[in-house]
Amino acid sequence: MNRIVAVNIGNTNTTAALMAGGRVARRVVVPTRGATAALAGRALAKLRPGPAAGAVVASVVPRAGRAWRRALAAAGLAPVVGVRHDLDLGIRLDYPRPETLGADRLANLAGVAGLRGRAVIVIDAGTATTIDAVTAEGVFIGGAIAPGPAMMLDYLADRTARLPRLAMRPVRGPVGRSTGEAMRLAADAGYAGMIRGIAGRMVSDRRLRGALLVATGGAAALVRRAIPSARVDRDLTFRGMVSILRAGPRG
More confident residue, 217 or 116: 217
Is 132 one of the annotated active-site residues of the chain?
no
Element containing residue 239 per DSSP (H, E): helix 236-247
Average of per-residue pLDDT across 170-191: 92
- For 240, what's the count of Cα atoms within 13 Å in the CB-facing half-sphere? 29
* Mean pLDDT in residue range 66-73: 96
Q: What span, in angstroms and rounded, lies between the C-alpha atoms of 101 and 120?
A: 18
Residue 237 is predicted with a pLDDT of 97
Give the side-chain half-sphere CA count within 13 A for 205: 17
CATH no. of 3-82: 3.30.420.40
Question: Running DSSP on this structure, what letter comes out for residue 113?
Answer: T
Reply yes or no on whether the pLDDT at 89 is more than 80: yes
Query: Would the pLDDT of 170 be above 90?
Result: no
Q: Give 221's pLDDT tier (boundaries 50, 70, 90).
A: very high
Average pLDDT over residues 8-31: 94
Single-letter amino acid, residue 144: A
Whether residue 45 is predicted with pLDDT greater than 60 in this model: the reply is yes
Residues of the chain within CATH 3.30.420.40 domain(s) are: 3-82, 93-239
Per-residue pLDDT for 251 more than 70? no
Burial 221-231 (b: 16+ CB within 10 A, else e): ebbbbbbeebe
Whether residue 219 contacts residue 112, with contact meaning beta carbons closer than 8 Å, is answered with: no
Is the confidence at residue 1, as pLDDT, over 60? Answer: no
Looking at residue 41, its pLDDT comes to: 96
Instruction: Calculate mean pLDDT across residues 101-116.
Output: 95
Mean pLDDT of all residues belonging to the chain: 94
Q: Which pLDDT value is given to residue 249?
A: 72
Mean pLDDT of 117-121: 96
Q: Which of 86, 88, 94, 104 is catalytic?
A: 104
What local confidence, expressed as pLDDT, does residue 61 receive? 96
CATH number attached to the domain at 93-239: 3.30.420.40
Mean pLDDT of 146-156: 93
pLDDT value of residue 80: 94
